[in-house]
A and B are shown apart, each in its own frame.
Chain A
Amino acid sequence: MVIIKKNRLIISGLIIAALLFFSHLIGILRPVENFLFYLTKPIAGRFYKTGTDLKIAYDESNTQENLNAKVERLTKEVAVLTVADSRSLEIEEENRKLREALKFVGNNNSRVVVASVIAKEAAAEDSLGLIINRGAKDGLAAGLAVVSEEGLIVGKVLETKDTTAKICLTTNRNCQLAAAIQNSNRTQGITDGDLGLTIKMNYIPQLEKITPGDIVITSGLGEHIARGLVIGRIATVYNESNEVWQSATIEPLVNLNNLTIVAVIIP
């Protein structure tokens, strides 16, 4: 009794914490939680954008000397891509005419939900993903593809609450995607994040010919994620003649650490 009297403040604090926990568990607090989310999501989004802008400015100031080389490389890439784009436009037009001729009906009814990143989810040793300001009430569900403003896939939805969702980035461990390489064999495999920096594709048969620069896209074999979303480009191929498998690291084509606006594709 003396111990309880001496520590009554601590015990009161623990009781309040326990009450909050059980109230959340049985759902009484949900209207209050949704109201608090409604109030604070715009503020959190603003803070996150400011923090990310600071991060971009800090990173750019450290890599000034690489920028000229990067500009030159990108100018050449633009020229190559312009040629490829014009060819693909021709193929698209041909495809459309053939579909009309065969009366082939496409089934692309997907819609896109645009979301702002409002926070990062931090775990013990690394960041596990981003939190966005759209949730189950906007039609989001676990497993949906998340793309950047440029249309490149940057991750997928892991969990949803009513008005927020957690997404994992393609560079996070355990964020796996069914992928295909745009090479002559159309090699298929699973990509997985590596240390939050790059993406790896393991267990590629030795007979498959893959080269640095090949584009990796989603294969469409994963649930909820359509085929054709660009994951990245093959950076390095690890091929030992005495190994059964080869592996490759994939470089994302956007900086995944500076995302502030994303879109979720709902099939």
Chain B
Amino acid sequence: MLKKIGQIFFLVLLFSGVAIVQFSFVLALPSVFNQINLTVIVLVFTLFFFGLRPALYAAIILGGWLDLYSFNFFGLYLLLFCLTVILVNWILKAWLTNRSLYSFLLLMLIATLTFGLASGFLFYFSGASSGGFFLWSGAFWSKLFYQAVWSELAGLLLFSLTGATARRFQPFFLEKR
């Protein structure tokens, strides 16, 4: 019981830290580096290696913190993260037959694109975006491109580190019966 409480407390602290680092530290970095979307990277990593339940906890904690500090409507980030987790989970279960590096990178890419496009729509229709329609904006696509590149690089690094650290996380194939 105590161990479980300790684990939950650790997860809450970890995801809260990621959220604070994302909106305070990452966005203050120079232009190319501030496109890293740590929250999506952590979300996909959690889903891929630890399952849906921890990923949903992560989505709620990350979304809660970002909504707390954001001046957009409360619930925007909660909605975005939950949507991303649900979609990526469905793709993992329905389409991917193994837990390999390629499937992890594919999920990371899909998650980044989903989050980027969904946030674009929500920012635009909530009036938070200051320009014209975001799909016609070069800055939007440039930002999405850099986010995808950083996500893939981070995915590669995390997968390699995790595989080297524990046998449990080494890739395996699922046989379809």
Interface pick from B103-111, B130-138, B159-167, B168-176: B130-138
Complex interface bits, B108-146 against A, C-beta within 8 A gives 1, otherwise 0: 000000000001100110001111001001011001000
Residues of A within 8 A of B82 (CB): 13-14, 17
Residues of A within 8 A of B16 (CB): 40
Closest 7 CB pairs of A and B: A51-B28, A47-B24, A13-B56, A47-B25, A120-B27, A124-B123, A21-B75
Counting CB contacts under 8 A, is B70 at the interface? yes
Counting CB contacts under 8 A, is B20 at the interface? yes
Counting CB contacts under 8 A, is B3 at the interface? no
Distance of A161 Cα from B140 Cα, bound (Å): 28
Residues of B within 8 A of A45 (CB): 24
With A12-B56, A44-B24 known, 13 other A-B pairs at CB within 8 A are: A13-B60, A16-B60, A17-B78, A17-B82, A40-B16, A48-B24, A52-B28, A118-B24, A122-B23, A123-B128, A123-B130, A124-B134, A126-B131
Q: Is the CB of B69 within 8 A of A125?
A: no
B31, chain A: closest CB distance, angstroms:
9
Distance of A75 Cα from B123 Cα, bound (Å): 45
Distance of A158 Cα from B127 Cα, bound (Å): 14
**Which of A33, A51, A174: most chain B CB closer than 10 A?**
A51
Q: Is the CB of A158 within 8 A of B71?
A: yes
A46, chain B: closest CB distance, angstroms:
8
Complex interface bits, A7-41 against B, C-beta within 8 A gives 1, otherwise 0: 00110111011001100110000000100110010
A2, chain B: closest CB distance, angstroms:
16
Interface pick from A54-62, A101-109, A215-223, A227-235: A54-62
Instruction: Indicate whether A17 sits within 8 Å of B79 (C-beta atoms), given known contacts A124-B134, A172-B130.
Output: yes
Say whether chain B's binding surface is mostly helix, strand, loop, or mixed: helix
Q: Of B60, B68, B128, which is within 8 A of A37 by CB? A: B68
Q: Is the CB of A51 within 8 A of B25?
A: yes
A175, chain B: closest CB distance, angstroms:
9
Counting CB contacts under 8 A, is B29 at the interface? yes
A residues adjacent to B (C-beta < 8 A): 9-10, 12-14, 16-17, 20-21, 24-25, 33, 36-37, 40, 43-45, 47-52, 54-55, 58-59, 118-128, 131, 158-159, 161, 164, 166, 172-174
B residues adjacent to A (C-beta < 8 A): 16, 20-21, 23-30, 52-53, 56, 59-60, 63-64, 67-71, 74-75, 78-79, 82, 85-86, 89, 119-120, 123-124, 128-131, 134, 137, 139-140, 143
Residues of A within 8 A of B56 (CB): 9-10, 12-13
Q: Is the CB of B27 within 8 A of A119?
A: yes
Instruction: Indicate whether A24 sits within 8 Å of B128 (C-beta atoms), given known contacts A48-B28, A124-B134.
Output: no
Q: Is the CB of B23 within 8 A of A44?
A: yes
Closest to B90 in A: A10
A261, chain B: closest CB distance, angstroms:
14
Closest to A117 in B: B28
